[in-house]
Amino acid sequence: MKSLNTRVAIIGAGPSGLLLGQLLATRGIDNIVLEKETGDYVLGRIRAGILEHGFVDLLREAGCGHRLDAEGEIHDGFDIYVNGETHYIHLRELTGGTTVVCYGQVEITHDLMDAREAAGLVSYYEALDVQPHDVLSDHPRVSFRHQGEEYEIACDFVAGCDGYHGVARQSIPESERTEHHTAYPFGWLGLLSDTPPVSKELIYCKHERGFALASRRSAERSRYYVQVPLTDRVEDWSDEAFWDEFRTRLPPEAAERLITGPSIEKSIAPMRSFICEPLQYGNLFLVGDAGHIVPATGAKGLNLAASDVAALFQVLARVYEAGDRYCVPRYSEIALRRVWHGVRFSRWLTGMLHRFDTETTGDLPSEIYSRFKQSELEYFLASEAGRRVIAEQYVGLPYETL
């Protein structure tokens, strides 16, 4: 067996794990990343695209903001289309100058991977059977297999950045964690295509046939979504069927501009929320999707992963720079406060913008629930105060400091 040593063992080379690794490296805090897939596989996952300003600042702090600053698109706002009318949520004006940046998760992961390699930091891709041990002690270990060899890392902390299906959360005894789950009976069918996007900024559409979102990755690449029942399978949706449905749900002037083309990727993401409490067990921390999932509306998933990283980075920097270990238990509390806000906001937007055939909440049948949600949306869009409530949360609530 090969023995390794580091300060922080990071499980998962998604955006959470790689960003944490880079930030720690800026303060000279040694870390090793363990990823079960290949780098190409990780880069093949098409996911998020809208970044809060706090995340952008964090990427810059990690020394990974150059391409983002050059190629990322600043979006001043977005449209909400409902009842045949388009309402502009002017993020910049409503929040006193804050905006979001459109830059794909794949590009972020690429930049973080390149930076990690350039800095000569240690990563093991295709690391199998990763398993944390003794995380309640001051001497945790992580074992894994790589290219037929057994390895063990001795470390101070383990960061579980390994997504919803990872090993980190499962290694916390069930009696020591609570999992809160909710699920909608629908998902988003997403299509990526190399076609000029229908709009310079995003359009969230509420249509009687269901929700649709026109998003983008660049001037040449579109990312579009339509709400579909969870019973639909992606194989049942030809590109033509997607384009027809998407066009129907767009505002007419956007539908006229729509340029279609072959899909590069097509998948259905279920709409659900999940929070694990607490987000730590001794010296093991859960970061990003390992600890929580949000419904996609509002683009909070990746952004909450980033705010977890910010909280954990502060804690670990304090441990190593000030010798203060008392701050360690505060990670979960700080990260969770923002996570609950994110899940609440995403559910709120989902409720107002989607079609509900079967949702019942408490004593409300779907017809009444839908009418309340419609009235809520109209109320919030009609007033500047209402639009500000949406804008403030969309650009991202402030990060908490220790």
Residues that bind ligand DHB (CB under 6 A): 48-50, 202, 213, 215, 223, 296-299
The H or E element that residue 112 is part of is: helix 105-118
Let me know if 28 is exposed, middle or buried by CB neighbors in 10 A (0-12, 13-18, 19+).
Answer: exposed
CB of 296 to ligand FAD, least distance (A): 5
> Using CB distances below 5 to 8 A depending on partner kind, what does residue 249 bind out of ligand FAD, ligand DHB, none?
none
42 binds ligand FAD (CB under 6 A): yes
Structure tokens, 128: 């199998």
In the sheet where 222-229 sits, what is the strand order? 85-90, 77-82, 203-207, 210-216, 222-229, 178-193, 263-277, 292-293
297 binds, among ligand DHB, ligand FAD, none (CB under 5 to 8 A by kind): ligand DHB
Bridge partners of 280, per DSSP, are: 285
DSSP 361: B
Other beta carbons within 10 angstroms of residue 96's beta carbon come to 9
Cα–Cα separations (whole angstroms), residue 3 to 32, 144, 151, 153, 255 = 13, 11, 6, 6, 59
Query: The tokens of 111 are what?
Result: 């930049």
| Binding residues for ligand FAD, total number by CB under 6 A | 33
The token pair that represents 155 in the structure block:
């470390």
Is the CB of 147 or the CB of 363 nearer to ligand FAD? 147
Choose among ligand DHB, ligand FAD, none what residue 192 binds, the Cβ cut-off being 5 to 8 Å by kind.
none
298 binds, among ligand DHB, ligand FAD, none (CB under 5 to 8 A by kind): ligand DHB
> In the complex, what is the shortest distance from the CB of residue 135 to ligand FAD, in angstroms, rounded to a whole number?
15
Instruction: List the one residue from 25, 112, 115, 161 that touches ligand FAD (CB under 6 A).
Output: 161
Using the rule CB under 6 A, is 13 a contact of ligand FAD?
A: yes
266-295 residues in contact with ligand FAD (CB under 6 A) are: 267, 269, 288-289
Q: Which two tokens stand for residue 273?
A: 């929320």
Phi, psi of 271 (to 5 degrees): -100, 115
Does residue 187 belong to the site contacting ligand FAD (CB under 6 A)? no
Q: Is 352 in the site for ligand FAD (CB under 6 A)?
A: no
Contact between 311 and ligand FAD per CB under 6 A: no
The residue within the footprint of ligand FAD, chosen from 4, 30, 37, 126 (CB under 6 A), is 37
Position 162 contacts ligand FAD (CB under 6 A): yes
Q: What are the beta bridge partners of residue 50?
A: 102
- The minimum distance between CB 259 and ligand DHB, in angstroms, equals 17
Q: Which residues contact 243 (CB under 8 A, 6 or more apart)?
A: 258, 260
| Residue that the structure tokens 């695209």 belong to | 49
Q: How many residues does the chain have?
A: 402
The window from 52-60, 156-164, 370-378, 392-400 that contacts ligand FAD (CB under 6 A) reads: 156-164
Q: Which residues bind ligand FAD (CB under 6 A)?
A: 11-17, 34-37, 42, 47-48, 105, 127, 130, 161-163, 165-167, 267, 269, 288-289, 296, 299-302, 305
